[in-house]
Structure 1
């Protein structure tokens, strides 16, 4: 059994390396790797690995498809909001134009009303002036009448005495 099992053998450089059944260590490592690969193939490990990779690939594809769908939805939403913004801008411009037109109409109406008010106040002022002139003329006439009556009384009192009054009274009575 010593031939079969040689535990130590000497190499060319004089160091001792283990060997079993006449095979060196590198040959045993190669044999172990071949056996391990054979067990992996027998247990269908490559199929499991490729199946796992295929599942991971499918999951990544699903995520990519979902991302594409989300991107398309986001772009549609962005386009929708861009259209809404454009519509809002058009509405704002229309409101601004309407407000300008209304402001202009209010300004025109205010100018017309102010002209009417100025004309009305001018008529009122002219009426007040005319009334003041009439009152002044009436007052002057009243003063003139009062002055004329006073002057007449004075003149009559100076020119007529009691004899002239009797004679005037007799003439009035005779004419009746």
Structure 2
């Protein structure tokens, strides 16, 4: 309120009415009429308490702006907290994904090692089976050769015995064999 009075007094002192020549307090002097009109206007403004209304409106507007700033500040803090929460959640998800990837790599390595071990066991079993087959085939071949050699030897011995044996020797040989069988049976 004091400011308005100070401004009004300063504007009266600086008005062109004080600069005019001639009788100042005359209605014919336009400067005087303008000064009086201005003073009446200021008086009407003061009578209806327009400056206090304007100050109240300005205070109300300032309070509204202050409230909006506080609300914006609260929203900003809430947004920062939400952003921090999302960043924390993103880090947690990234760490979990890294753990899953590491676990999958470990499992892949273990599965590879297991497959390698299984393959080595399978190869060892097949080699053992092949060696068994070779040994069996070798034993079979040896037996076949032995049987063949025995058969050839028996045939050769039969031919030799048949050429050298006479009827008398054959009868004696049969009698000896019967006697030997008889002794073994009794």
Q: What's 2:70 paired with? A: 65
Q: Tell me, yes or no, if structure 1 residue 88 matches structure 2 residue 119.
A: no
Alignment of 1:7-86 (within 5 A): 22-86=27-91
Counterpart Cα distance in 1 of 2:29 and 2:126: 131
Counterpart Cα distance in 1 of 2:62 and 2:161: 143
> Shift in Å at residue 113 of structure 1?
2.4
Give TM-score scaled by structure 1 length.
0.71
Counterpart Cα distance in 1 of 2:150 and 2:33: 161
Number of positions where the alignment pairs a residue of Structure 1 with one of Structure 2: 156
Please give the per-residue CA displacement for 1:62-93, whole angstroms capped at 9, x wherever unaligned: 11001100111111112212222332333233
Q: Tell me, yes or no, if structure 1 residue 103 matches structure 2 residue 135.
A: no
RCO greater where, 1 or 2, for CA within 8 Å and sep 6 or more? 2
Give TM-score scaled by structure 2 length.
0.68
1:130 to 105, 125, 135: 135
Counterpart Cα distance in 1 of 2:61 and 2:171: 150
> Shift in Å at residue 170 of structure 1?
5.6
> Shift in Å at residue 61 of structure 1?
0.8
Counterpart Cα distance in 1 of 2:46 and 2:100: 78
Gaps of 5+ in 2: 1-20, 180-186
1:142 to 119, 139, 147: 147
